[in-house]
Amino acid sequence: MSTSRTPGRSVGNLSVWVTVPTYEESENIELLVRRVREAVPTAHILVVDDNSADGTAEKAEALGAELGGIEVLRRPRKMGLGSAYRAGHAIGIARGYDVMIQIDADLSYDPADLPRLLAALERGADLALGSRYAPGGSVPNWPRHRLALSVVGNRYAAFCLGIDVHDTTAGYRAYRASTLHAIDFDTTHSTGYGFQIEMTYRVLNAGGKIEEIPIAFTDRVRGNSKMSWRIVAEAMLLVTWWGLRDRVLRRLRTSR
């Protein structure tokens, strides 16, 4: 993996690093990367590939040779979404970038919204969320049972943790690097939705400002979803424990 930095890579006063986790995304990766480059031409893109057998990493490397400012971190096996983002953020921070963006490779999130997330950071946010459930956000053409599961899960997380965030599981995000330092992001252990919730919770507990940017989330057209009941269960168990630990057990201790 190259360690060179991309010159002239700022948007406003912010230098931007984009992490894209992949596993079997050869049908989507080229279009996703080209759209990210179109939306933020100076961003540096890191594809974190978990040993895809369908040529995802090779396609991303070919794009790097063609366009520059794109590299691939090849991992030996499927290691999870949270692990991929921790690895990507750590590299971007070590390179000195100001903003860490995360976006899925399945084209459910529109890269054209990236400037809106960056504008939120420039207004003072520590974390900008591409939010499906904030006023103005939408999830067109999603099956009702999936939408209901997602909405209920987010409401449950917000209730348990006592936070005012509509879309705690949003995977489309922009963080200030300084904020990731402040929350010790590399000490998180959860994956999937649990990782997104944990990061949101840590930002708020550290006194960070979150701005939700309403977006349209569209279901993938090509490739297969990586969602599983194990990922959902992990998130709900973690949220329940964090809520008990921080809102119930601590109150009991302080009341003694």
User: Does residue 2 belong to any structural domain of this protein?
Assistant: no
Query: Could you give the CA distance from residue 92 to residue 214 in angstroms, rounded to a whole number?
Result: 26
CB half-sphere exposure, 109, CA atoms < 13 A: 24
Q: Give me the pLDDT at residue 125, please.
A: 97
CB 129 within 8 A of CB 169: no
Q: Give me the pLDDT at residue 256, please.
A: 54
Distances (CA, A) of 139 to 143, 178, 227: 10, 31, 17
Q: Give me the pLDDT at residue 219, please.
A: 75
Q: Give me the pLDDT at residue 2, please.
A: 32
Query: Could you give the CA distance from residue 196 to residue 107 in angstroms, rounded to a whole number?
Result: 18
pLDDT one-digit tens code per residue, 151-192: 988 999 999 999 999 999 999 999 999 999 999 999 998 887
Q: What angle do CA 100, 96, 200 make, to 5 degrees?
A: 30
User: Does residue 65 belong to any structural domain of this protein?
Assistant: yes
Which tokens sit at 131?
A: 């939010």
Reported pTM: 0.86
CB 108 within 8 A of CB 218: yes
Q: Give me the pLDDT at residue 11, please.
A: 45
Q: Give me the pLDDT at residue 255, please.
A: 55
Q: Give me the pLDDT at residue 248, please.
A: 61
Q: Give me the pLDDT at residue 7, please.
A: 28
User: Does residue 1 belong to any structural domain of this protein?
Assistant: no
User: Does residue 128 belong to any structural domain of this protein?
Assistant: yes
Helix (H) or strand (E) holding 16: strand 14-22
Indicate the number of domains in the chain: 1
CB half-sphere exposure, 185, CA atoms < 13 A: 29
CB 211 within 8 A of CB 134: no
User: Does residue 98 belong to any structural domain of this protein?
Assistant: yes
User: Does residue 217 belong to any structural domain of this protein?
Assistant: yes
User: Does residue 47 belong to any structural domain of this protein?
Assistant: yes
Q: At 133, which CATH number? A: 3.90.550.10
Structural domain span for residue 99: 10-255
Q: Give me the pLDDT at residue 40, please.
A: 96
Q: Give me the pLDDT at residue 139, please.
A: 93
Q: Which of 1, 188, 190, 16 has the alpha carbon at shortest distance from 100?
A: 16
Residues of the chain with pLDDT under 50: 1-11, 223, 226
Q: Give me the pLDDT at residue 231, please.
A: 61
Q: Where do runs of H (alpha helix) occur along the chain?
A: 29-39, 56-67, 81-94, 114-122, 144-161, 177-182, 192-205, 229-243, 250-255
